[in-house]
Structure 1
Amino acid sequence: MVSEYGVLPEVRDMPEPTVDAGSVVLRVEATGLCRSDWHGWMGHDSDIVLPHVPGHEFAGTIAAVGAGVTGWAVGDRVTTPFICACGQCEQCLEGNQQVCPNQLQPGFNYWGSFAEYVAVPYASVNLVRLPDDMTFATAAGLGCRFATSFRAVHQVAQVKAGERVAIFGCGGVGLSAIMIAAALGAEVIAIDPNPAALTLAATHGATHTLQTPTPPPAPTAPTAPAAATVSPVRAAPTATPTATPTATPTAAADPVVAAINDFGGAHVTIDALGSNEIAQQALQSLRPRGRHIQIGLLPSAITLNAGRLIAQELTWLGSHGMPAHAYPEMLALVASGNLNPAQLVTRTIPLPQTPAALGALSTTTTPPGVTIITP
């Protein structure tokens, strides 16, 4: 339980959630540790009221079924999107549950899944039945990171075979996006400061990896960016991108931008981490008429070069989760072996280790891949 923003939460005994009409209660079998949980813990989400239980991507078995819920029974193996949509508003009726104005989000505006039990409101709209052969650990990542990336890459960006996709950030969301873009036949450039994360990126389909400098503490005066390191996984330009330091770096001098443009620029850029610096790099790395997809949460406002956006006819798109009715296509690709989200799970921890693991997300040395918690 989080009692104070930025202070490590504690594991406590709490009452089980009640099952309301239209809802179910799940016994949590696995839940993911996501950077969005870190944002909430740090106080970046205005919906959170303390004390609070985080956790928003999970899978489990139905423990109780509320009045009015049909087609589901105790013991059913399920997951759910992290956006629990109402199913009745205009957006929901049009199939856009991911932007439902009445949405409830476990771990944000009600208590989440870093617990033994969690409630799922509007159950008939939001429950997704799991294949019998899918583990709970694999399914837990589908509720946020993998499903979010699937919709962002496939449905929002509409990535096509042969396109070049630059993905900034190789955490759970970024690695998922890399795997999905590669499965669609894209040439993928993976960008991250962590060499271990880039090794995973190459394993899961990145054509090229680009290691950026580890972000230093905020400087007191502008400094020139350090050079980036490009590692070709397959074919790559022979020249090593370099940048000429200047007192106040321009976009053209940015080594990340220079490296991506040496590959020919990106048809699609994806910010899977969330930072003002990445947003600027992504915009400068796009080819004419390219499209940027913002997945990573931005804790503060950003400014964009609107002149470039207009002159190059660039497209800037947000992508936020995926509704339950869109899961079957993704699950079919998993069942066929074209996508393998189980490979992204690199660590499993028990619930008592969760506070320390959440705190570790404040550093740049967190383990690569997806961390799953077993309550």
Structure 2
Amino acid sequence: MKAVVFQGAEEPLEVQEVDRPDCQEHGVVVETEACGICRSDWHAWQGDWDWIGLMPTEGLVFGHEPVGRVVEVGSGVERFSEGDLVTNPFNLSDGTCPYCRAGRANICEKSVPMGFVPFQQGAFAEEYPVRNAEQNLVTVPESVDPAEVAGLGCRFATAFHGIVHRVDVTAGDWVAVHGCGGVGLSAVHVASALGANVIAVDVIPDKLELARELGAVETVDPESVQDVSQAVKGFTEMSRGVDVSVDALGIAETVRNSVDSLAPGGQHLQIGMTTSEEGGEVSIPVDTMVTEEREFYGSYGMPPHEYDEIFKMMDGGKIDPGKIVTETCSLEDVPDVMDRLGEYDTMGIPVCTEF
């Protein structure tokens, strides 16, 4: 079968013929119908994240935002059958650790990141395997276009989990989102659906316009203001600051701007991962966070049981992840799209739909 294969850090990705994945006893094999092309794939391709133990090896197949139909079922799987339309989180869990049992499978002690390690192939391929299917597979409603939910494995899921379950966003709150890539736009859309007044921050006008279409009520272009955090605060009552601020880039400057945008008692949500320039560490104003009781939260993927919440909100017309999908392509085009991610030359979530 065809797949996009990693040749080494920063080396050109190649579409090659590879072996079809084996089906484990408690796993399934899925025929890919759509897979989001995520900035996390780009980070791994560039050799980032060795500081958290992710070091892709030659021959790896990326792709961790998949939707597809089950074509083979392991003997230990009862809940899924051939032909089922499914998706799964990128961080595959085993279902047995204390965090899994507490409903926090996204931080499973034995989590396996799909498409980032050689023993769990990703979905930039005609077929892909899913381990521990009873734990990780999620049934997708047949009424849903696979391309519309291809971001649910990572970007939309991480934003949804963070906005809905990690911080406290209620109707009327002020929420700032720093960075309007795929995950940032997802955060804008979800926070707006909850009734928040969203301020979108980005240097690219087209991304700010898309943020408005997804619910942002105000926008800030950092290149047009002297102080981003003060510009954000200026939209809020008495310029106190926002209730929740989200960094969706992982750049030192945007993390700091996000924390500085908060009102006393506000919550910072980190959903952007750092690049090699930050190396996983960013300076923040600790004393101010203490004296104003600001809080710092992280969001990493989403546990499988929360997918039903997304589908219910989609069915009720409150959210539409498909609005963030701005580009579709074939498997052969994936290397080019990945290259453009490095130039920030993509909008929203690009999705591969032809395999």
TM tier relative to shorter chain: over 0.9
Of the three residues 108, 123, 137, the one matched with 1:127 is 137
**TM-score, normalized by length of structure 2?**
0.93
Q: Answer whether contact 2:32 2:66 (CA < 8 A) is retained.
A: yes
Find the counterpart in structure 2 of residue 156 from structure 1: 166
CA distance in 2, matches of 1:192, 1:7: 29
Q: 1:328 aligns with which of 292, 297, 308?
A: 308
Q: Deviations over 1:73-92 (max 9, x none)?
A: 11100011111110011111
Alignment size in residue pairs: 336
Q: 1:93 aligns with which of 101, 120, 134?
A: 101
3-state secondary structure, aligned to 2:256: helix
Ranges of 4+ aligned residues in structure 1 off by more than 4 Å: none
Query: 1:257 is matched with which residue?
Result: 229
**Aligned counterparts, 1:59-74, within 5 A:** 59-74=67-82
Give yes or no for contact 2:6–2:57 (8 Å, CA) kept in 1: no
1:291 equivalent in structure 2: 267
Query: Equivalent residue for 2:326?
Result: 346
Counterpart in the other structure of 2:255: 279
Instruction: Give 3-state SS (helix, strand or coil) of 1:16's partner.
Output: coil
- Alpha-carbon contact 2:67-2:150 (below 8 Å) kept: yes
Partners of 2:59 and 2:197 lie apart in 1 by: 45
State the match for 2:347 in structure 1.
Answer: 368
Instruction: Provide the C-alpha distance between the structure 2 equivalents of 1:323 and 1:267, rounded to a whole number of angstroms.
Output: 25
Native 8 Å contact 1:8 1:356 kept in 2: no
With 49-58 and 30-39 compared, the bigger mean Cα shift is at: 49-58
**Contact 1:63/1:75 (<8 A) preserved:** yes
CA offsets per residue over residues 301-345 of structure 1, 9 Å max, x none? 111111111011010011111111111111100111111111111
The RMSD of aligned alpha carbons is 1.1
Moved more, 46-55 or 188-197: 46-55
Normalising by structure 1, we get a TM-score of 0.88
* Distance in 2 between residues matched to 1:326 and 1:356, nearest whole Å: 33
Residue 168 (structure 1) aligns with: 178
- 2:266 and 2:293 in contact (8 A); partners too: yes
Q: Secondary structure at the match of 2:60?
A: coil
- How far does residue 6 in structure 1 lie from its aligned partner after superposition? 1.1
| Structure 2 counterpart SS, 1:316 | strand
Give, in whole Å, the separation in 2 of the partners of 1:357 and 1:126.
28
Q: Which runs of 5+ in 2 are unaligned?
A: none
Tell me how far 1:362 sits from its aligned partner: 1.2
The answer to whether residue 155 in structure 2 is matched with residue 145 in structure 1 is yes
Equivalent position to 2:66, from 33, 41, 58: 58
Alignment of 1:93-112 (within 5 A): 93-109=101-117, 110-112=120-122
Higher Rg: 1
2 CA distance for matches of 1:330 and 1:139? 10
Q: Distance in 1 between matches of 2:211 and 2:23?
A: 41
C-alpha distance in 1 between matches for 2:94 and 2:168: 27
Report the alpha carbon displacement of residue 158 of structure 1 after superposing the two structures with TM: 2.1
SS at match of 2:337: helix
Give identity over the alignment, percent.
38
User: Aligned equivalents of 2:304 and 2:216: distance in 1?
Assistant: 28
CA distance in 2, matches of 1:359, 1:16: 26
Quote how far apart the aligned CAs of 1:49 are.
2.3
Structure 1 position 143, deviation (Å): 1.4
Equivalent of 2:29 in 7, 25, 29: 25
Q: Deviations over 1:162-184 (max 9, x none)?
A: 11000011111111111111111
